[in-house]
Structure 1
Amino acid sequence: MTEVWILGGTGRSGRAIAAELLRRGIGPVLVGRDAGRLAEAAAGPRPAGAGAAGGLRTVVAGSVAETAEAIRRERPAVVVNTIGPFIETGAPLLEACRPSSHYLDLANDLAAVAATLGRSQAFTDAGRTAVTGAGFGVTATESVVVKLCEGRPAPRRVRVDMVPSLVVEAGAVGDALAGTIVEGLPGVAGGGRFQGRRYRGGRLAPARLGGDPIRLVLPDGSTVTTASMPLGELMAAQRASGAADVVAASSEAPSSPLVRAVLPAATALLAIGPVRAFARRRLAAVRFTARPKPREHSWGHAVVQWPDGSTREGWLRVGEAQAFTAAVPAEVVRRLLDGEGKPGAYTPAALFGPGLAESCGGEYRLEEPGLARRPH
C-alpha cells in the first residue's frame, strides 16, 4: 500500500502534519480513538488553494495495541507516530511497522530516541526505515551540527542549543506530555533515571539538570538563557559529529539558581513509584492559557570545537517551532515515498543531510563564536 497513517490524527501535531502532507499532494489516513473527532478532522479545511477537503480516510483504534494490530493487518507505507510518551508507544508500534512499513516519530526525549536508534539493525534486516526526532528540537540542532562538520574530521567538543518560539494553544498538559516529563530516562546508560546526561570521552555520563547555563545573543539581537537537558538532541549531535564531549541545552530548561538548587531533591522523589504516578496525574490535569509566540523566529544553534583549537558556530533560523515540527515529518514522508530513504534507524539530518531543514523553510547562518558563552 502507499497509504500514510498519522497516529494521533486529531491532535495538534497530527492535524498540522496532515495539512503539510496535503500541501505535498499526499492524502493521509487519520488514526485515533474517537470516531467523531476523527470525522471532524478529516472533514476540516485544507490549506488555501488545495481544493476540497473531504474524503480523508480514518481508522478508529482505541489503544496502542489495537493500532499496532491495524498496522500489521493493513500494512501502510509509512506510519507517523505523534502519540507520546514515545518511550511507551514506540516499542509496540516499531515492532508492528518493521515487517512492512516505514516508521517516523516526533520524539525528542533521550530515552525514546535512544530506543528507536537501537533498533537500526532490525530495520536494516527488514529493508525498512525508522526516523526518530522528526520535530524542531532534534532536527534543528542536528542539522546545524551536520552543516558545520561537513568535510571535516570529528571535533572534540559540541554544544547544541534549541530556542523554540511557540504559539501555545489553551488546554491541559495531558497524559502524553506529562508522562514524557515525569517518567525520566528509563533504560538510558550513563547515570540515574532522574539525572541529566552529557557525553564525556564518547560515553554518556551524568550531568546536572539545568546545568551549563549560558546567555546566548541570537542573530536578531535578542538574548535567551539556555541550560542543559537530557534531550534527544544530545544523542543526535554526538552521532552526527563523532565528538567525545557533547552538551545539549534548551531555552525551555530551568536556569535560575534557585530552581537548579532544588531540582536534585525534587527529581529524587520521582524515583518513588506512587509519587511519580501522583505527579503524572496532577501534571496532566494542569491547564494553561493561550499565548502568542515570544519572538518571530525559532533557532537551532551549535558551537563545534576541533582538537586543533579551531571553532565554528552556526544557527538555523526557522519560523514558529510547531509549524517546523509539522513540515519536517511531512517532507521526510514525501522522501520515503519517493524511495529516498535507507534501511535502518536514523535521526532526520543523519538520513537526509542539512538540506532537509532548508526544504522545510530553514535558513543557515554560520559565523565566528561570540563572547556571550562560556566553555562547557
Structure 2
Amino acid sequence: MDAEVWVLGGTGRSGRAVAVELARRGVPAVLVGRDASRLAAAAQPTGSRTVVAGSVDATAAEIRRQRPAVVISTVGPFTTTAGPIIDACLPGSHYVDLANDVAAVSATLGRHDAATGAGRTLVTGAGFGVTATESVVVKLCADRPAPLRVRVDMVPSLAIEAGVVGTALAGTILDGLPGVPGGGRFQGRQIADGRLAPARIGGEARRLTLPDGTEVTTASMPLGELLAAQRASGARFVVSASSEAPSAPVVRAVLPAALAMLKWAPLREFAKRRLAGVRIKAADRPREHSWGHAVVTWADGETREGWLRLGEAQAYTGAVPAEIARRLLAGDGRPGAYTPAALFGAGLAEACGGEYLPAGSGRR
C-alpha cells in the first residue's frame, strides 16, 4: 500500500495517460474518481486498483485514511482542488499536479514551508507547458548569472478526443486569476522589474519559425510558465506565451470587453455551465511535434535561444508526472514545493522523451 501512486481523475484523458506511463515504469497506479463503472473500464488496460470518491472532500478523506506514497492530481480547477488535496497529503503523501495557471501554481509554491516542515514534496505544473519551457530556461541559464529578460513560448500539438468540455476545464478557462497580485482577476500577467504586473491577454504576439521550418504565432497568456521561468532564471522581466492564445487582431480587440463581463458572477457561472456542455469533435494533432521555446537576454547584450522538441503534448503530460512519481518513490526528491525542472533539473525533460535543439547564441 505504501508504494502506491494515486491518480485523481483516473477516468479522464490525462489520468489515463498518467496510468499508462506509470505502468511503463513498473509503478502500481490506483485510479481515483466518481464513477465506479468508468473507473473499472479505465483501469482494465493497466490492471490498476480503483478507489471511488464522489467529491474532493471524499477524496481527501481517503488520502488521509490510506496514505498513498504519491498523489497525482489531474482534477481542476486547481485553484479550488489543490488546497484540500495538499492538506490531506502533507501527513503522509507526496503531491504532484498538472496545474498551468498563475493562480494555482503560485498557491502551491506558496506551501513550500509547510511541505518542508512536513517532510513532503509538492510538485506543481507537471505537464507539457511548464515542464517544456522551464526546462529550456534552466538549460540556457546553466552557466550564467541571472538574465535581464526571458520569453517562453509553448507550442503544443495534441490530438483532440470527442466529448464535452466538462466543468473542471470550463472553470479553469473562465475563473480568471482570483487572488493573484499585480492586476485584475481577468487580466493577464507578466513579470516587470521582478514583480507580477498587468499584461494584455493575447498581447506580445510573435511569429515563430519552428526548427522544422513551419511557422506559428504565439501571444501572451497568464500561464504557470511565467512563474517557473522567473524562478528558474531570476530575470527581472518575463513573458509567457502560447500558440493557443488568441492572436487574431479582431479577437484581441474584443477580448478585453468580453473578459470584463466575466466580473459579474451570475454571468460567469452561466457561461461556465454553457461551456461545460459544449461538445468537442475529435481531431488529429496539427503538427508532428510539440515545442517548448525560450529566448534569454542578459544585461551585457548576450542572447541565447533554445528549443525542446517533443511528441504529442498529451502523451508528454502523462509521462512527466509518472516520471516524477517514480523518482519520488526512489527517494530522489526533497521536501518543499517546486516546479518540475526546479526539482529535477533539465534532464527530466529528456527522460520523458524531449530533445533539446539549441538555436545558438550571440549578441543582438
Q: TM-score, normalised by structure 2?
A: 0.98
Counterparts of residues 340-351 of structure 1 (less than 5 Å): 340-351=332-343
Structure 1 counterpart of 2:197: 205
Q: Does 1:323 align with 2:327?
A: no
Q: Secondary structure at the match of 1:141?
A: helix
Aligned counterpart for 1:125 among listed residues 111, 117, 126: 117
1:205-248 per-position Cα deviation (integer Å, ceiling 9, x unaligned): 00011000000000000000000000000000000000000000
Residues 187, 199 of structure 2: 8 Å contact kept: yes
2:260 to 261, 268, 274: 268
Identity of aligned residues (%): 72
The aligned counterpart of 2:92 is: 100
Other-structure match for 1:58? 50
- Give 1:1-376 correspondences, 5 Å limit: 1-44=2-45, 46=46, 54=47, 56-368=48-360
- State how far apart, in whole Å, the 1-side matches of 2:165 and 2:155 are: 20
Q: In the aligned structure 2, how far is the partner of 1:26 from the partner of 1:232?
A: 28
Tell me how far 1:177 sits from its aligned partner.
Answer: 0.5
- The 8 Å contact of residues 105 and 124 in structure 2, kept in 1 or not, is answered as yes
Deviation for aligned residue 1:368: 3.4
* Aligned-partner Cα distance in 2 for 1:29–1:252: 32
CA–CA separation in structure 1 for the residues paired with 2:245 and 2:353: 26
Q: Structure 1: how far apart are the matches of 2:147 and 2:359? A: 17
State the Cα deviation string for residues 301-321 of structure 1 (Å, max 9, x = none).
000000100000000000000
Gaps of 5+ in 2: none
CA contact (8 A) 2:3 2:28 kept: no
Aligned residue pairs: how many?
A: 362
1:49 corresponds to: none
Q: Which ranges of 4 or more aligned residues in structure 1 deviate by more than 6 Å?
A: none
How far the C-alpha of 1:129 sits from its partner, in A, is 0.1
Q: Deviations over 1:175-218 (max 9, x none)?
A: 11100000000011100000000000000000011000000000
1:369 deviates by 6.8
CA distance in 2 between counterparts of 1:213 and 1:41 reads: 40
- What residue identity is the alignment partner of 1:5? W
CA–CA distance in structure 2, aligned partners of residues 367 and 15 of structure 1: 35
CA distance in 1, matches of 2:8, 2:251: 36
**Contact 1:120-1:345 within 8 A present in 2 as well:** yes
Question: Which stretches in structure 1 are left out of the alignment for 5+ residues?
Answer: 47-53
Q: Which amino acid aligns with 1:359?
A: A
Give 1:2 deviation, angstroms: 1.4
Deviations 1:265-313 (A, max 9, x none): 1000000000100110111111111110000000000000001000000
Partners of 2:40 and 2:289 in 1: how far apart? 34
- SS of the equivalent of 2:321 reads helix
What is the CA–CA distance in structure 2 between the aligned matches of 1:172 and 1:32, rounded to whole Å? 17
Question: How far apart are 1:40 and its partner, in Å?
Answer: 1.3
Paired with 1:183 and 1:331, the residues of 2 have a C-alpha distance of 30
Deviations for 1:81-132, whole angstroms, at most 9, x for unmatched residues?
0001111100000111011100000010111000000001100000000000
After superposition, the CA RMSD in angstroms is 1.1
Letter in 2 for 1:241: S
Q: Whole-Å Cα distance in 2 between the matches of residues 229 and 43 of structure 1? A: 38
Q: In 2, Cα distance between the equivalents of 1:337 and 1:143?
A: 22
CA contact 2:302–2:361 (8 Å) conserved in 1: no
Q: Which amino acid aligns with 2:212?
A: D
Paired with 1:247 and 1:194, the residues of 2 have a C-alpha distance of: 17
Q: 1: distance between equivalents of 2:199 and 2:14?
A: 31
- In 2, are the aligned partners of 1:303 and 1:369 still within 8 Å (CA)? no
Report if aligned partners of 1:227, 1:255 keep a CA contact under 8 Å in 2.
yes
Amino acid at match of 1:15: R
- Rounded Cα–Cα distance in structure 1 between residues aligned with 2:159 and 2:232: 30
One-letter identity of the residue aligned with 1:167? A
